[in-house]
Chains A and B, each alone.
Chain A
């Protein structure tokens, strides 16, 4: 009975309709397909803001002279810095320690005097909170920039030639305002599609086994192909509706640009959904147990989709063995394709490669599920 059997459209339709009723009548599947995506999209879109907008910085001006005041004015004028003036070193240290400021600048009592001496002995001391390395390094580079601003301002005030600074001029492609939302939202769509595809389907076949409906189905003339397709098609449809919802929320409500073509987005999403549906169904078919299947889906689909897809964390920064592992994660290709489609447009080399991998992955998981879908109970213990 390895032959999948022919497909009778009427039987297939009947099975799909049944699956549809079950989806519509189960509040939890509606919740996970329509409410959770929107909530997650908003949380990802607004909760994760990597563009450190303004960092709280403490300032201790022990000097109080003109030079120190001018530097403080530069700091206060920066949109990236939320300046707090401190009264003493211990007070600021304490604030730094409990995390209410992320860094402190100390201008010692002889600052103005040393600046005027011009021997280069004046020092602007900066202490950052290294327990948050990302913020600390942002603060570091902001302060470097502000320090230069101060230097050139001071020079022009005194009518001197500004010290020559050779610097790197940034120019952004694709996302000129560098809103992290614009790349996090397409990435989070891939996490959401993984949840819908794998988590939801990991429960469906196991549920039929647990409730005993599978045994009744198997004794009817239903063929293997019909059984499999009846699990794929309704959830594919559900996934695509959720996808549409995500795209609409992202573009219309959150203002994320979509530069690529819709039909490509459709193809890429279909393939990705195919592979996560396949993974979920496989787990469900093999374990025949909801509890185990759901936990396995969480470990095998959701975690890699967040950690190893390059959605938040840069793949190229990972060590080679971990990088190698990312090639097995379908979400990796989907994230790359989505980010390209949303922000860059139809960039063929990227999309072609990703599509090819997704096609392979969808074929792999669905094929394996088809192999494991049996027409008999033989694996069962005898009751």
Chain B
């Protein structure tokens, strides 16, 4: 009966590759997102504008401004001359952050007194503004230290493991392996079955000697294949185009991709067993995907979520796979470290596939 599954899988792949619109839908988004995401999806702050209101005008203040201007985060500076202009630059979102240097800055610094520099943060974009604030703070602190070097009782040395320069791209690309494959895999499993139902070919399958189990396997395997192929493209691009280090083992990555594909197929088949037509299946895929991605820990750490959402995140295959891929890429994880996230994927697959199978039998009137 392996032959029957092989036949089903081949048909599915022929259907994907044979139709130019479907083929485009499998490949175009991958390439588009591969080009856009690493640049667009970044929480780093670069190229932002800093507004400066210098009330002082002394040598130290000018020196500080030059230091700020040299920072890579702020290639553009706006010099403003009044409180009013400062307010406008933030209001109109011309500047992300405004720095106000008080009139006595140079004087206090010369006397060795702590000098105050005020930063005004645009709370509408509080995250980016806070990060920008961090950069500015670092510049100012370093500046102050150089002005009056002193012996401190202890120094703080920070070393970033796995990603020494905190390159955001090293974080984005491994996550993309998980995110992008989600869409392709779900489309193949959930929508194609709904399509067969609408076009009547589904009944043709049901009257054949294939059992529901085989039909489901015939849909799940192409889904997994699509996930693995798309995942390989992204992983390859990450390593060779974006130069993200790959420290783990390739076979472990593929094993994990397989398990991930299996758990996604489970969700896809479950959705398709639930839905009567393509429109519903499409909305079902969207209804699953949007929360799955938002709660995956890609946009914000899972630890920050309320307990309920953390529980949802624990049964979200995307969450587990992102951890696995990042571990294999950056942390050189082996099977022992990967396993705690691998078994949840298998468990999710077992539950969703089981549910889909039951529902499938029930719906096909058996």
Instruction: Tell me the A residues contacting B by CB distance below 8 Å.
Output: 28, 31-32, 36, 39-40, 43-44, 46-53, 55-56, 67, 71, 96-99, 111, 114-115, 118-120, 122-137, 140-141, 143-144, 147, 151, 154, 163-176, 178-180, 182-183, 195, 199, 203, 207, 290-292, 294-295, 298-299, 303, 307-308, 310, 312-314, 316-319, 322, 325, 336, 339-340, 343-344, 347, 349-350
Contacts and interface: CB of A to CB of B under 8 A. Distances in A.
B248 to A, nearest CB: 12
A179 to B, nearest CB: 8
Given A28-B280, A49-B304, A322-B36, A118 B153 contact: yes
B305 A47 contact: yes
B311 to A, nearest CB: 12
Interface string B136-161: 11101101100110111111111111
Interface string B68-88: 000000000000000000001
Contacts of B323: 99
Max count, chain A CB within 10 A of own CB: residue among B109, B161, B326: B161
Nearest to A294: B282
B133 to A, nearest CB: 6
Contacts of A174: 122-124
A163 B149 CA distance: 10
A130 B164 contact: yes
Contact of B295 (A43, A98, A143, A166): A43
B152 A151 contact: yes
A132 to B, nearest CB: 6
B124 A339 contact: yes
Interface string B295-322: 1000111011110010000000000000
B39 A319 contact: yes
A292 B21 contact: yes
B14 interface: no
A343 B40 contact: no
Interface in B23-66: 25, 28-29, 32-33, 36-37, 39-49
A317 B305 contact: no
User: Nearest 5 pairs between A and B by C-beta?
Assistant: A175-B123, A130-B163, A166-B144, A130-B160, A174-B123
A120 B39 contact: no
A126 B157 CA distance: 6
Interface in B93-136: 93, 96, 99, 109, 112-128, 130-131, 133-134, 136
Given A111-B154, A314-B48, A343-B123, A167 B340 contact: no
Interface stretch (B166-174, B256-264, B342-350): B166-174
18 contacts: A43-B295, A50-B127, A56-B303, A67-B154, A97-B331, A97-B337, A126-B157, A131-B327, A133-B167, A133-B171, A134-B171, A137-B166, A144-B141, A178-B130, A183-B127, A314-B125, A317-B46, A336-B93
B46 A36 contact: no
B236 interface: no
Contacts of B326: 131
B126 A141 contact: no
Given A118-B151, A131-B162, A317-B45, A169 B127 contact: no
Given A176-B123, A303-B29, 20 more contacts: A31-B287, A36-B290, A49-B304, A51-B127, A67-B154, A120-B151, A123-B157, A133-B166, A147-B156, A173-B122, A178-B123, A180-B300, A207-B279, A307-B40, A313-B40, A313-B43, A314-B42, A314-B128, A316-B96, A325-B36
Of B114, B159, B303, the most chain A CB neighbours within 10 A belong to B303
A165 B141 contact: yes
Nearest to A349: B92
Contacts of A317: 42, 44-48, 128
A208 B361 CA distance: 32
Interface of B: 21, 25, 28-29, 32-33, 36-37, 39-49, 88, 90-93, 96, 99, 109, 112-128, 130-131, 133-134, 136-138, 140-141, 143-144, 147-148, 150-164, 166-168, 170-171, 183, 187, 191, 195, 278-280, 282-283, 286-287, 290-291, 294-295, 299-301, 303-306, 309, 323, 326-327, 330-331, 333, 337, 340
B90 to A, nearest CB: 6
A96 B325 CA distance: 16
Nearest to B153: A115
A115 B43 CA distance: 37
Given A122-B155, A317-B47, A137 B134 contact: yes
A175 B124 contact: yes
Given A143-B156, A199-B286, A290-B278, A169 B162 contact: no
B183 to A, nearest CB: 8
Contacts of A154: 153
A169 B153 contact: no
A172 B115 contact: no
B119 A128 contact: no
A166 B337 contact: no
A238 to B, nearest CB: 15
A164 B112 contact: yes
A168 B140 contact: yes
A122 B280 contact: no
Contacts of A56: 303
Contacts of A168: 99, 117-119, 133, 136-137, 140-141
A347 B183 CA distance: 39
Contacts of B37: 307
B114 A165 contact: yes
B165 to A, nearest CB: 8
